[in-house]
Chain A
Amino acid sequence: MPIVSIENLSKVYASGLHALKDVNLAISKGEIFALLGPNGAGKSTLINTVCGIVTPSSGTIRVGGHDNRSDYRAARRMIGLVPQELTTDAFEKVWDTVSFSRGLFGLRKDPAHIERVLKDLSLYEKRDNRIMQLSGGMKRRVLIAKALAHEPQVLFLDEPTAGVDVELRQDMWRLVRRLRDQGVTVILTTHYIEEAEEMADRVGVIRKGEIILVEDKVELMRKLGKKRLTLHLAEPVSALPDSLAGYDLQLGPDGREVVYTYDTKRERTGITGLLTALAGAGIGFTDLDTKQSSLEEIFVDLVRGSAGATP
């Protein structure tokens, strides 16, 4: 059973904005799921709907099997949310605000747990500081500490590394992996492809309120492993000879380019064979280049709405 299951979820805001359109998504326990999408695609709306901040127009959401509306207490108790904006109480002390969060979720005080969370986030030294005295990166850590104060089983990180420095980003990645090792399910939104590549087990892409792709990252990386070799021909050809039929080739529209797609992870790329075969067919070339398609390219293609996401 998925730990988070979203069925036929739609959200139309009072302004008429159709932020989510019939979203279906199942998140498995213990996975790191990255939700990618451009600004305004509906990432935050989706997260906020699961967490109870936005009321859905239709559809159902279950967290750990609990309906997030009819059984909201049980559902919300399992969730920790780190919002995108740095929303903190300026005058509160770090320790107090994190303890407050634990209380809100109905748990008794547990100074040992709070201490552990603060130490994990390198915040313990700052526990008696008022939040307004902290830097932006430290405030981000406070928000994470608040979300972890009640030992959630599902952690939502909405743009966790937006505007944070490299060190904090790597700290954050380490923390997320540690949480996953403890069995916590992590769902993060990002528009840094690198982050999804680095962290996620699965990647989902959302565009204009619709989930347009959900795929295992390894599978995506396999696609990433493909490269394209472009040969610029000396003379244009109208068709490729039959001797080249065994290669995955495409002829450019003006007959001056031949594109060969190959898998770098295979033992043999077939490049040597191809070049020999070309020479044999009497096709000469003036230049060549190779290019690796990145997740970013796939992503850009997808969000622009072009059908082909293949390299």
Chain B
Amino acid sequence: MNLPAVLAIYRFEMARFWRTALQSIVAPVIATSLYFVVFGAAIGARMQTVDGIPYGAFIVPGLIMLSLLTQSVSNAAFGIYFPRFSGTVYELLSAPISPFEVVLGYVGAAATKSIFIGLVILATAALFVPLHIEHPFWMVAFLLLTAITFSLFGFVIGLWADGFEKLQLVPLLVVTPLTFLGGSFYSIEMLPPFWYAVSHANPVVYLVSGFRWAFFGKGDVAVGVSIAVTFGFLALCLGLVTWIFRTGYRLKS
């Protein structure tokens, strides 16, 4: 195991995070506050509770998930795409590092960043609404699992993308809509039967539901199902990354 290399990549990526602190930290805090003003104050004033949970508190897990997913995907995607774009990837390819170590460095850093942002949002939310976390262990577990899984997913996108447009495509056109439609701001039980059924095909539903269960002890689907789906997606992403490195896809000619 080339630990110094993993640490070098990790530190390099984290340095980029702190260098762009304004964009990485302040932006999500402002966005979250806006959500609270718009959804919490405007809508929450008319809709008191969902499932017995005050609306302001109800949207917190969904809000954290929204940032966690988009940040994980875009951080990891950008992290590996940029060296490919600038050409500095030559150094990664010619260094005595295994693909696993490369992934560990990039995905580890991307997951760290998104978890950090998730916690910042949680802290910001706590300023607006009283929060009580029913299952702290599972809350942390979902946070970790989701961050790692979606950072892996982002890493795959960063390898697949051959332009900045494609890099943005998946986070904007897939992840964000799925998160909004995945019950971040509502319970899918509030949907008409048809859309309720369709929602079950959306993997984000399981993540948000599991995460919400960790907060309030209630979710849209059974927590066991949520955990199983999360692990399933993790396995899928791991498989993809393994395949990419085995074939050298988009990395080596």
Question: A55 within 8 Å of B by Cβ?
Answer: yes
Q: Mark B1-22, 1 if CB is under 8 A from A, else 0.
A: 0111101110110011001000
Q: Which of A63-99 contact B (CB under 8 A)?
A: 72-77, 79, 81, 83, 85, 87-92, 96, 99
Does A271 sit within 8 A of B, measured CB to CB?
A: no
- Residue B248 at the A interface, CB < 8 A? yes
Asked whether, in the complex, the Cβ of A105 is within 8 Å of the Cβ of B96, the reply is yes
In the complex the two chains form, is A104's CB within 8 Å of B92's CB? Answer: yes
CA distance A102 to B91 in the complex (A): 11
**Interface segment out of the listed B27-35, B82-90, B229-237:** B82-90
Q: Which of B11, B19, B94 contacts A76 (CB 8 A)?
A: B94
Q: Which residues of B contact A77 (CB under 8 A)?
A: 96
Choice from B86, B97, B252 contacting A53 with Cβ under 8 Å: B252
> What is the CB-to-nearest-CB distance from B177 to chain A, in angstroms, rounded to a whole number?
32
List the B side residues contacting A104 at CB < 8 Å.
Answer: 4-5, 8-9, 91-92, 95, 97
B45 adjacent to chain A (CB < 8 Å) = no
B88-A101 in contact (CB<8A): no
Flag whether A41 is at the interface (Cβ < 8 A). no
Residues of B in contact, count (CB < 8 Å)? 27
Q: Which of A13, A87, A99 contacts B86 (CB 8 A)?
A: A87
With A13-B253, A100-B8, A103-B7 as contacts: A53 and B93 at CB distance below 8 Å: yes
| Contact (Cβ within 8 A) A73 B248 | no
Counted as pairs of residues, one from A and one from B, with CB atoms less than 8 Å apart, the total is 79
State the Cβ distance, A158 to closest chain B Cβ, in Å.
10
CB <8 Å contact, A52 and B94: yes
Measured as residues with beta carbon below 8 angstroms from the partner, the interface class of chain A is 35 or more
> Does the CB pair B90–A81 fall under 8 Å?
yes
Residues of chain B lying within 8 A (CB to CB) of residue A266? none
- B3, B11, B88, B96: the one within 8 Å of A89 (CB): B88
Contacts of A52 in B (CB 8 A): 93-94
B96 touches A87 (CB 8 A): no
Complex: A5 Cα to B222 Cα, angstroms: 61
- Cα distance A90–B87 when bound, in Å? 12
Interface set of B (CB-CB < 8 Å, partner A): 2-5, 7-9, 11-12, 15-16, 19, 86-88, 90-98, 248, 252-253
Known interface pairs A54-B252, A55-B252; 16 further A-B residue pairs with C-beta atoms within 8 A, sorted by A's residue number: A51-B90, A51-B93, A51-B94, A53-B93, A55-B253, A88-B88, A89-B88, A90-B86, A103-B5, A103-B8, A104-B8, A104-B91, A105-B95, A106-B4, A106-B97, A146-B91
